[in-house]
Amino acid sequence: MGIVTADIALSLDGYAAGPNQSIDKPMGEGVEGRLHTWMFDEYADRHAEEIDAITAAGAYVMGRKMFGPVRDEWPASGEPLGDWTGWWGDEPPYHAPVFVLTHYAREPLEMTGTTFTFVTDGIHSALDRARAAAGDADVAIAGGAETLNQALWAGVVDELRLHVVPITLGAGERVFDRVPALELELLRERVTPEVAHLSYRVRR
């Protein structure tokens, strides 16, 4: 059986997204892609190992904010955002099943290379379903900060991979917010001008 991993990009002051996330500013105000520049364009080749590791899981668990901007009941088809299929268009970067934490039920959404299944009964249920789907492969906590914090609080993360970008945001969605004390063992580190990649085993 694989392990549960978690990758997240964050600022030096611990934020994985800025304040006031919206459809126009999915990462919040003041971010504008700065946390993820290292994953794209001319930087991507220098960070291929870390990017490949993020996309290698056998199943994923993510929060509703990571899936889209809708916060309450899912709008009906034809209403604004009623046909929302995620931030990524017709071909999401996930090529394995994705389990989305939400308080509101929705039918599974089949996309190119993946199916998004919406889970209403919490992080443990989502992980059980993801483990069953992944088989012997790893399960990845795909974010955002709130979902990662839930997973850390629940004690289910085996390997935590932080991608620390040399900026500060000052406000927003903070990693480790209200998470109890953790003991981490450094497994790998790689520092570039764009980002410091730090991988830790979560000791129990």
Query: What's the pLDDT score for residue 189?
Result: 97
Give 139's strand partners: 4, 59
For Cα atoms 192, 33, 187, give the angle at the middle one, nearest 5 degrees.
35
Nearest to 57 by CA among 117, 124, 140, 120: 140
| DSSP SS3 for 145 | helix
pTM value is: 0.94
Residue 23 above 90 pLDDT?
A: no
| Structure-token pair, residue 146 | 């709130």
Buried-state track 56-66, b at ≥16 Cβ within 10 A, e below 16: ebbbbbbbbbb
- Domain spans of the chain, in order of start: 4-73+83-155+166-172+191-195
Confidence of residue 145 (pLDDT cuts 50, 70, 90): very high
**Mean pLDDT, rounded, of the chain:** 94
Domain 4-73+83-155+166-172+191-195 matching CATH 3.40.430.10: the answer reads yes
Per the model's pLDDT, the better-predicted residue between 33 and 166 turns out to be 166
Query: What's the pLDDT score for residue 64?
Result: 94
Query: What's the pLDDT score for residue 22?
Result: 83
